[in-house]
Amino acid sequence: MMNNKQLIMAFITSAAVLFSATSMAQDNEMFTEEMVIPLSDPSRTGTLEVHQIYGGIKVTGYDGNEVVVLAKQEKMQTVSQMKNGLRKIQNNSMALMVEESNNHVEINAQNHNGGSKNSMNLEVKVPRNFNLKLWSINDGSTWVDNINGEIEISNINNDITLNQVSGSAVVDSVNGEIKASFKQITVGSQLAFTSFNGNVDISLPNDVQADFKLKTTSGEILTGFDIDFKTSQPVIQKDSTQKSYKVKLEKWVTGSANGGGTEITLKSHSGDLILRAQD
Number of folded domains that form the chain: 1
Whole-structure pTM value: 0.83
CA distance 187 to 73: 40
State residue 228's pLDDT score: 85
State residue 231's pLDDT score: 86
CA distance 227 to 229: 6
Torsion angles phi and psi, residue 190, rounded to 5: -100, 130
Res. 187 pLDDT band, cuts 50 70 90: confident
| Cβ atoms of 162 and 171 closer than 8 Å | yes
CA distance 204 to 217: 23
Indicate the Cα dihedral angle 136, 140, 141, 143, nearest 10°: -90
State residue 224's pLDDT score: 93
Res. 1 pLDDT band, cuts 50 70 90: very low
**At 16, which helix (H) or strand (E)?**
helix 14-17
Structural domain including 29 reads 5-278
pLDDT at 90 exceeding the cut of 90:
no
